[in-house]
Amino acid sequence: MRSEQEVNRAVECYADMVLRLCMVYLKHPQDAEDVFQSVFLKYTLSDKSFESEEHEKAWLIRVTANACKDSLKNLFRRCTVPLEEAADCVTEMSEEQSRVWQAVRELPKDYREVIYLHFYEGYTAPEIAGILRKNPNTVYTHLRRAKELLRERLGGVADEE
Amino acid sequence: MKNDLQKAFDAVQADERLKRRTKAYLRRATLDYGRDTQRRRQRQTRMVSCAAAVMLMVMGAGMWLLPVTSIDLDINPSLELRVNTFGRVTELKGMNADGLALVDSLNVKGMRYDDAMQRILISEPLEPYLEDGSLISITVVGKDESLAEQMLSNVVCRAYAIAEEDNIFYCQTDPETARAARRVGLCVLRYQVWQQLKEKDPSITVEAVALMPKAEVMALAKFEKLENPCGE
């Protein structure tokens, strides 16, 4: 088990990223918070040593993605979709930001994760494939389709990479 | 769109309340990062140590009280010193009427067995018995042969300093032989003489040996050319 000091550092460093990923996958903020806490509990109890901060970050992304997918499989998960209820976790959003979030959350879940990891965390498709242990071609496909869907819903040019 | 996405994602941030709740949850879930477990373990260790200490004390007390060897001193008064594993006298018993009469006046409990033997032999009540050249027989009874031998050597040395060597007879034996002697009503010395005499003359009875004066027993033993029953 890791020390409290080490865990607190990880919470401070990665809380935003883990929460965003949870929000990308899960519609209810309480589910997101449950998964958020379970990810850090897993981190606390894990004895895995990381070669670098990048390695640690990638591990947390994979653990969060898997925990969210497990939560989605739970038949008893909450099914309501009130983004507004996430006020605890979300700083005040402009109308435009809410519209973008809504568009992202309406994407199929495999598209949501790659959109976040690519556009926000800046990972390339092969890197995302490595982290999520997916075929790079699949990631490329998901990215392309996600951009197309977002372009349809939000308008504008998707490829501003 | 990239900028819009980044701004939208930026809007989601884990606030301090969520972080605090999470840290509190992790402390609970890990029992304060094992500190509870550590404290519990320390408590358990302390309890086990205390229990072990109590057990050691009980065992120590048991070992102190439990005699592992006995020393029979037979002059006319017949006495038995029971000795624990630490070589200390746990009990002094009178084995005949004269012995019983002496027990209360001889305070040797807790003393080393050889010191106790010396104190008994120089004690006032025993003086009259030793003055007339009485034969002294000393028998050490114990399971541990080498320990019994060592003890016998130590007590005989003390006896030599007080009485005539020729009047002192001694031997060591195991508890089984001592019990057999007790069953037929003889002291170990007489029992061993009887056993050896019986080999030459099976008609010799226990009663005959029991009634013989000690000097006669020893004389008979010499007459029969038996080895000294004490192994000397």
Q: Which of A20, A37, A158 sits opposite B9 (nearest CB)?
A: A20
Ramachandran angles phi, psi of A130, nearest 5°: -65, -45
Residue B231 pLDDT level (bands cut at 50, 70, 90)? very low
Q: Which of residues 53-112 of A touch B (CB under 8 A)?
A: 86, 88-94, 96-98, 100-101, 104
For the domain covering A93-156, report its CATH number.
1.10.10.10
Are B1 and A151 in contact (CB < 8 Å)?
Answer: yes
pLDDT in tens, A34-81: 999 999 999 999 988 899 999 999 999 999 999 998 888 875 555 444
Contact between B57 and B80 (Cβ < 8 Å): no
pLDDT in tens, B46-79: 999 999 999 998 888 888 888 889 999 988 788 9
More confidently predicted of B40 and A45:
A45
Query: Is the pLDDT assigned to residue A103 strictly greater than 60?
Result: yes
A33 to chain B, any CB pair closer than 8 A? The answer is yes
B17 interaction partners in chain A (CB closer than 8 Å): 88
Confirm whether the ipTM is greater than 0.95: no
Give the pLDDT of residue B133: 73
Alpha-carbon distance B31 to B33, whole Å? 5
Query: Is the pLDDT assigned to residue B228 strictly greater than 50?
Result: no
A13 to chain B, any CB pair closer than 8 A? The answer is no
Question: What radius of gyration, in Å, describes the C-alpha atoms of chain B?
Answer: 36
CATH 3.40.720 assigned to A1-91: no
Cβ-based neighbour number of residue B161 at 10 Å = 10
Q: Where are the domains of chain B?
A: 17-63, 66-223
Q: Where are the domains of chain A?
A: 1-91, 93-156
